Structure 1
């Protein structure tokens, strides 16, 4: 009977660890356009555009650096260009790629803030765009 109970406990622990691994918490904050705009006024905040170079060239938020999150070297480039002791405010076109980038960077120890609905929302709100 003792071995059966130990086996059952072992199985339950194994299953609970499987499910807990699948529910990873996002460790970044999404902000609406006005929150994001206010936040990036702080000079200590690093601004990051994770779209393609072509998209970035068509217009971007001022003082942003561009690292394409779809590039295989994204994490390496981010580590060489960003400082972990300063927060990172990032965006993409609509929000999907920036969430991917935010997950990558937050796992690497960066404090990350994401522009909800991305550059499209920024443009729709009539915010300044640099060419």
Structure 2
């Protein structure tokens, strides 16, 4: 009986530990993104092509091209324990990137809804 209790306790602790590490991708609006960028030490990642990035990007963003053959290696150079905000042009690539990061064990992932197009239109109305 004592062995069963120990085994059950161990399994319960293991499940709780795994649950704590699990993460969900949080899709954020323009307003939420502004807040997160101001409040948290976020790694901001633009997953568009270098050409798109050169045509305009959000300040402090680093460019990691989703279509690059080295994308998987490049994304793993980021700190998995620090929050990451990803964006692309309109939201498709960043959603795929966020899911990939989730699989790789990133702890906190934000996906900017609407991407750079949304950012640019909101900035122009200020």
TM-score bucket of the superposed structures, by smaller chain: 0.7 to 0.9
TM-score when scaled to structure 1?
0.73
Shift, 1:34, TM fit: 0.8
Q: Distance in 2 between matches of 1:47 and 1:109?
A: 17
1:61-89 residue CA offsets vs partner (Å, 9 max, x unmatched)? 11111001111221211112x10110100
Given the alignment of the two structures, is residue 91 of structure 1 paired with residue 84 of structure 2, yes or no? no
More helix, by proportion:
2
TM-score when scaled to structure 2?
0.75
Match of 1:123 in 2: 120
- Cα RMSD after superposing both structures: 1.5
Given the alignment of the two structures, is residue 68 of structure 1 paired with residue 65 of structure 2, yes or no? yes
- Alignment coverage as a number of residue pairs: 101
Q: Which structure 1 residue ranges, 5 or more long, are not aligned?
A: 1-25
Match of 1:27 in 2: 24
Match of 1:45 in 2: 42
Indicate conservation of the 8 Å contact 1:47/1:63, yes or no.
yes
Indicate conservation of the 8 Å contact 1:75/1:105, yes or no.
no
